[in-house]
Amino acid sequence: MIPPVVSAVPEGAVLADVRHYLDGRSGRAAYDGGHLPGAVFVDMDTVLASPPSAAEGRHPLPDPEAFAQGLAALGIGDDDTVVAYDDAGGVMAARLVWMLRALGHDAALLDGGLLAYDGPLETSTPSRPEATFTPRSWPRERLADIDDAADSANVVIDARQRERFRGDEEAIDPRAGHIPGARNVPARESVDADGRFLPVEELRAKLSEAGVVAGADVVSYCGSGVTACHNLLAIEHAGFGEGRLYPGSWSQWSHTERPAATGG
């Protein structure tokens, strides 16, 4: 399997644009306005998630059949290598990469993505023939549930920005704060101004400070299980192995009566 982060697109790989915005802007409109040459657009809400609910959160993992059909329609098949990017240091595109890697497919983030690209953009949509992508169940060993997130035996990390973690503000979910015992590792602070990952030694130190070390049982969450995937790829990129994704994340937890912690 290719590494989780690459600096160039391997020959023959499918390039995927996974722009998505929390402020209501359209990722598709951004793609149509200009994207990396040859890239297909992968929609977060229709391909990479099931419909939102209070019980499961804002971005539940999609049904394997629906995920397979969505990728196949874009021309992404079982044997394709996928390299994904966005315009936010990979924090959105990481969702697709983590999903594919969890299923055993070759996939990676394009380090820097649009922020580091200085060439001409395309506005046309590439035509790819429909492919065959075989549905596979989400592997249980790569996932955590709400009880795992509450378990103090696990190293639980929160990928949201610091103000949301502290509970200073919360414009998206019903309650402010974080899961008690969680440690804040903002995904957007793992990349530099050009959207590229920090040097590995710096990244390792940052993760270690939060308790992420080799052999630790790490549970990663965020608002809805999207930027949490970026932390999981960072953990792998730093050489600490594989953590687990809590897909419901704060958007599920905050709909329950479980306690919420505030402060740093």
- Could you tell me if 152 and 249 lie in one domain? yes
Residue 127 lies in a domain: no
CATH number at residue 83: 3.40.250.10
Look at residue 235 in the predicted model and tell me its pLDDT: 97
Which of residues 116, 149, 170 is at a domain's end? Answer: 116
Paired with 157 in beta bridges are 183, 220
- Could you tell me if 82 and 163 lie in one domain? no
Residue 124 lies in a domain: no
Cβ atoms 119, 35 nearer than 8 A: no
Say how far apart CA 101 and CA 98 lie, in whole Å. Answer: 5
- Is 229 designated active site? no
Q: Which domain holds residue 229?
A: 140-253
- Which one of 42, 48, 115, 222 is the catalytic residue? 222
Residue 72 lies in a domain: yes
- Could you tell me if 17 and 108 lie in one domain? yes
Residue 64 lies in a domain: yes
Say how far apart CA 153 and CA 252 lie, in whole Å. Answer: 21
Among residues 59, 61, 82, 60, the alpha carbon closest in space to that of 133 is found at 82
- Could you tell me if 18 and 112 lie in one domain? yes
Residue 129 lies in a domain: no
- Could you tell me if 168 and 247 lie in one domain? yes
Q: Say how many domains are in the chain.
A: 2
Residue 184 lies in a domain: yes
Look at residue 214 in the predicted model and tell me its pLDDT: 86
Q: CA geometry: angle at 238 spanning 216 and 150, to 5°?
A: 35
Digit-by-digit pLDDT tens for the chain (264 residues) are: 899 999 999 999 999 999 999 998 999 999 999 999 999 999 999 999 999 999 999 999 999 999 999 999 999 999 999 999 999 999 999 999 999 999 999 999 999 999 999 999 999 999 899 999 999 999 999 999 999 999 999 999 999 999 999 999 999 999 999 999 999 999 999 999 999 999 999 999 999 999 999 889 999 999 999 999 999 999 999 999 999 999 999 999 999 999 999 998
CA atoms within 13 A on the CB side of 186: 12
* Total-model pTM: 0.97
Which of residues 82, 116, 150 is at a domain's end? Answer: 116
Tokens standing for residue 256:
């329950």
Residue 13 lies in a domain: yes
- Could you tell me if 231 and 154 lie in one domain? yes
Residue 82 lies in a domain: yes
Look at residue 264 in the predicted model and tell me its pLDDT: 84
